[in-house]
Structure 1
Amino acid sequence: MFVGTRRRIVSMWFPRLPSDRVLRLRPVEGPFALTLRLNNAGQIHCLNPAAEAGGLHRGMPLSEARAFCPALQSAPADPAQEARMLGILRRWATRYCPWVGTEGKDGLTLDITGAAHLWGDEPAMLADMQARLERAGFGVRIGLADTRGAAWALARHGGGIAAPGESLAALAALPVAGLRLDEDTSIALQRLGLRTIGALAGASRGPLARRFGPELLRRLDQATGAQCESITPLADPPHYAARLTLPEPIGLTADVMAGTARLLEALCGRLRAQESGARALRLSLRRVDRQSLSVDLRLATAMRDPARILPLFARGVEGADAGFGIDQLRLEATRVEPLPIRQAGPVSEAPDRLDDLITRIGTRIGLDNILRFLPADSHIPERSFVMVPAAGTKACDGWHAPRPRPLRLFPPEPISGHGAAPPARFRWRRMRLTTARATGPERIAPEWWVEDDNWRSGLRDYWRVETHQGRRLWLFHTPQNPGWFVQGEFA
């Protein structure tokens, strides 16, 4: 802030940001609304001017809205994308000043102190903001005043510019809701006859403080400038990328790998400073003919060790066509995960060889094709495990099965047998087997809340059977529908 210069604050309000985000990409003629599912029913989240003209409003049940407006078109809302769009608008607003912060879910606050002269004057600056946003498809209302509270009130309840030092005069005719009060407080003030900010400012402060607490007077003082209110700009997220421009083109694999090593040192240094690790990297190679080649690398776990990552690029770099030479290399971490600093020691500092092996194999066949078994919360043998990608998951070292389970599990295969005890002799897979020892039974009941055709026979009594021929099998008997089956084999 310049010494002796009065602060000037701009408040931008996007009253229809969610619907503008959708309609600017896919325009719709007529009434349109975005909906959210709350309490098992659809409600209107945001709507365009045509829908508002039809008598619809936010929070209205979707079924009621369709009854009022049969021509209404709707789409599901996406709050995550709305927040992302507000972040994009915040970054765009830094073209006017460096101090830009968000205001709720649909507004921005800018401290333009000492920056308006770059656009001529304040009205010209606001006109440029308005024109650019409307051209991009966003409806916006803008207020400018000495304080954040006054600019907020002007943007949402009046618009325009408050002259320096005249914040209270500009706010006098606006409703008390412009002081960023909750709805109950605003209604209570209106019932007392204090409907405008000017009437509230002229009332006795003692009774107001006793009845409504210090928050009401704090908001009033912030709007009029009697109490300071700061603007904290949001920091841009760290960008993990490094670029190397070469004075002479290169084409040898060794030279490209050497340049990649330099980029990795810089990139991993940034990751280490942020206690993060890369899960996906992209090496872009620009040739002298201005064509670009990309070498993508996905890692089994978050890494920031250049010595471990560099050899994994060798296969992709060897297959790249350098043409008449490469004059620029760019390395970017396209996916980053937290990787806190660990205690130094011979175990923690040793490279994880399994993760490196998974990554090396994944560069050839794809990480999604490398799977591992993990236990699942079910006592049904077929559903007691799941297969998940090995990359990014860890084995459950502390998990133990309550009962022994076979190494191989397959669909039940019927065998001949009678009674509740395992058969002394039976034929399985063209082999004649003789029971030497049987352990059991272990009764497993079906999960009635899960539809499974394989368990329609009811209860199962499982036995571990050792045969004289050396086979160790897992048999079960179905007492409700008598029959014997083989479902697994122990090692």
Structure 2
Amino acid sequence: MFDGIGRRVVSMWFPRLATDRVLRACPIPGPFALTLTQGTANRIYCLNHEAGKQGLHRGMPVADARAFCPALQSRPADPAGDTRFLRVLRRWATRYCPWVGLEGDDGLVLDITGSAHLFGGEAQMLTDMRQRLSRAGLSARIGLGDTRGAAWALARFGEGLAAPGQGAEALGSLPVAALRLDHDTVTGLLRLGLRTVADLDATARAPLARRFGPGLLMRLDQALGRQPEQISPEPDPPHYGVRMTLPDPIGLQADVMAGAARLLDQLCARLKAQEAGARVLCLTLRRVDQAAQHVELRLARPLRDPARILPLFERGVADVDAGFGIDQLRLEAVQVEPLPVQQLSHVTSGRRDQLEDLISRLGTRIGLDNIQRFLPADSHIPERGFVIAPAAYSEPEGSWVALRPRPLRLFPPEPIAGTGPRPPGRFRWRRMALTTARATGPERITPEWWLEDDAWRSGVRDYWLVETRQGRRLWLFFTPQAPGWFVQGEFA
């Protein structure tokens, strides 16, 4: 949409959005500021009104701020959380008009053309906005004008309402910075003696364009309505939820699965359109007595294939108590992850899909976190040569590289009787009398000095592969600094 004759635009500016968001959840009396590390310095990111009265300002080093105000309380800033909160405010602002967009990191822009009469007029609408934001604990400045630029200027430099067609008069006394210009351009205009919008508008345009470029005049014309400016509303995030209301209650498992299949087809079509896949699904079954039964399904990988997802619901649906019948089914993708389209080829194998489906099936019984896999780690210490990760949240990546063979079973070192640097000919281990038939080694492994590990502080270890006449193939090591023999693993 574009600004034009008869258009009315509101600009909401939240000068203390970050601190207001934090203080709403946990009020803190006195001066308060949020800090953010920029480069090598920790600076003030946002501050409340009390801190501002102490002479503090944004961008000020925290050390200097504490020198000016010893009572200052601070917390680390969360810019991502502030962005999410601003998007929540955008959804709230749609109660005034359907066209609401973001204005930078701390503002909103609303096209209220044709909707002000629903609130009794423009003045009453602005009053309602201020009252609701004030009750919510948010500091806001609001401007209303014929153009987006005029509303932005009035919100930040002269909060108020510009009557229709009176934008030039309302903006004339405002500083040139109200035209959304960069710092260097504002400084150059001030050096020329052009301090207000009226001064700038009365100056010859050609010299200004040659010196400052076309951007300056474009901002001036946009604010005064001589050039259109687009207002793009922020689209609502996609909703991955479908429902089905039944004319007659159902209670059989086959009927519930048939309804879930129809819902899955609709939901997966939405997921495919957004190139996304469901990771967590929730099937809600509402009974005629208004009680609800929930069947949650956690998947090992993002999916949008109904044929693969539907059988995984069978176990949960079988445990549902239908009561006197189910009259509504609702299916929602609670957690969604990107799943871009992939090129298929003649070498594509379905083995990975089968493994993921197996993990999902087992996960519905014992939990996905309890299905784990071993992944290689970059360490020559036997105990640190691998990590254990949940199979559903990790990829089988890396490769197992060892210059010498490693045992299939590894356990804490168990001492055995033996003397000398070579493996003993006879020894007892786990109440078994064993005789050495063949010994291969030694392989000396040194500790990783940069890690704190009590088991390896004693020094180096000399490992041997010992094959016994009884059929056992053991991994033994000898500690030269404190002579002793230990068994730490067993080969297959």
TM-score when normalising by structure 1: 0.91
Q: 1:349 to 1:102 in 2, by over 3 A?
A: farther
Query: Is 474-483 or 131-140 further displaced after alignment?
Result: 474-483
Amino acid at match of 1:433: L
1:270 matched residue in structure 2: 270
Residues in 2 aligned to 1:216 and 1:416: alpha-carbon distance in whole angstroms = 88
Are the equivalent residues in 2 in contact too, given 1:277–1:304 (CA < 8 A)?
Answer: yes
Query: Is 397-406 or 384-393 further displaced after alignment?
Result: 397-406
- Please state how far the C-alpha of 1:111 moved relative to its aligned partner: 2.1
Residues in 1 aligned to 2:212 and 2:330: alpha-carbon distance in whole angstroms = 59
Q: Which runs of 5+ in 1 are unaligned?
A: none
2:412 matched residue in structure 1: 411
Residues in 1 aligned to 2:381 and 2:186: alpha-carbon distance in whole angstroms = 59
2:232 matched residue in structure 1: 232
Residues in 2 aligned to 1:3 and 1:30: alpha-carbon distance in whole angstroms = 43
Are the equivalent residues in 1 in contact too, given 2:376–2:399 (CA < 8 A)?
Answer: no
The alignment yields a C-alpha RMSD, in angstroms, of 2.6
TM-score when normalising by structure 2: 0.91
Residues in 2 aligned to 1:2 and 1:64: alpha-carbon distance in whole angstroms = 46
- For residue 475 of structure 2, give the secondary structure of its aligned residue in structure 1: strand
Q: Deviations over 1:129-155 (max 9, x none)?
A: 222222222211111223222221111
1:370-385 → structure 2 map (5 Å cutoff): 370-385=371-386
Residues in 2 aligned to 1:200 and 1:419: alpha-carbon distance in whole angstroms = 95
- Please state how far the C-alpha of 1:348 moved relative to its aligned partner: 4.3
Q: Does 1:483 align with 2:488?
A: no
Q: 1:476 to 1:105 in 2, by over 3 A?
A: same
- For residue 392 of structure 2, give the secondary structure of its aligned residue in structure 1: coil
- Please state how far the C-alpha of 1:297 moved relative to its aligned partner: 1.1
1:472 matched residue in structure 2: 473
Are the equivalent residues in 2 in contact too, given 1:342–1:348 (CA < 8 A)?
Answer: no
Q: 1:74 to 1:420 in 2, by over 3 A?
A: same
Residues in 2 aligned to 1:229 and 1:84: alpha-carbon distance in whole angstroms = 26
Are the equivalent residues in 1 in contact too, given 2:283–2:329 (CA < 8 A)?
Answer: yes
- Please state how far the C-alpha of 1:293 moved relative to its aligned partner: 1.9
Amino acid at match of 1:244: M
1:432 matched residue in structure 2: 433
Amino acid at match of 1:140: A
Q: Deviations over 1:92-125 (max 9, x none)?
A: 2222222221111111112223333333432232
Are the equivalent residues in 2 in contact too, given 1:5–1:113 (CA < 8 A)?
Answer: no
Q: Deviations over 1:406-446 (max 9, x none)?
A: 11111122333444443344333333333333333333322
> How high is the sequence identity, in percent, across the aligned residues?
70
- For residue 383 of structure 2, give the secondary structure of its aligned residue in structure 1: helix
2:291 matched residue in structure 1: 291
1:307 matched residue in structure 2: 307
1:126 matched residue in structure 2: 126
Residues in 2 aligned to 1:486 and 1:336: alpha-carbon distance in whole angstroms = 48
- For residue 393 of structure 2, give the secondary structure of its aligned residue in structure 1: coil
1:172-211 → structure 2 map (5 Å cutoff): 172-211=172-211
Q: 1:445 to 1:212 in 2, by over 3 A?
A: farther
- Please state how far the C-alpha of 1:364 moved relative to its aligned partner: 1.2
Are the equivalent residues in 2 in contact too, given 1:8–1:113 (CA < 8 A)?
Answer: yes
Are the equivalent residues in 1 in contact too, given 2:149–2:219 (CA < 8 A)?
Answer: yes
Residues in 2 aligned to 1:40 and 1:321: alpha-carbon distance in whole angstroms = 60
- For residue 164 of structure 1, give the secondary structure of its aligned residue in structure 2: coil
Q: Does 1:244 align with 2:244?
A: yes
- Please state how far the C-alpha of 1:346 moved relative to its aligned partner: 6.7
Are the equivalent residues in 1 in contact too, given 2:2–2:230 (CA < 8 A)?
Answer: no
- For residue 246 of structure 2, give the secondary structure of its aligned residue in structure 1: strand
Residues in 1 aligned to 2:262 and 2:311: alpha-carbon distance in whole angstroms = 13
Are the equivalent residues in 1 in contact too, given 2:473–2:491 (CA < 8 A)?
Answer: yes
1:63-462 → structure 2 map (5 Å cutoff): 63-344=63-344, 348=348, 350=350, 352-396=353-397, 398-462=399-463
2:7 matched residue in structure 1: 7
Q: Which runs of 5+ in 2 are unaligned?
A: none
- Please state how far the C-alpha of 1:385 moved relative to its aligned partner: 0.9
- For residue 358 of structure 1, give the secondary structure of its aligned residue in structure 2: helix
Amino acid at match of 1:387: I
2:27 matched residue in structure 1: 27
Query: Is 388-397 or 333-342 further displaced after alignment?
Result: 388-397
- Please state how far the C-alpha of 1:189 moved relative to its aligned partner: 3.0
Q: 1:321 to 1:424 in 2, by over 3 A?
A: same
Residues in 2 aligned to 1:266 and 1:242: alpha-carbon distance in whole angstroms = 7
Q: Deviations over 1:212-234 (max 9, x none)?
A: 34433333333233333212222
Residues in 2 aligned to 1:193 and 1:255: alpha-carbon distance in whole angstroms = 79
- Paired residue total: 491
Amino acid at match of 1:404: P
- Please state how far the C-alpha of 1:315 moved relative to its aligned partner: 2.0
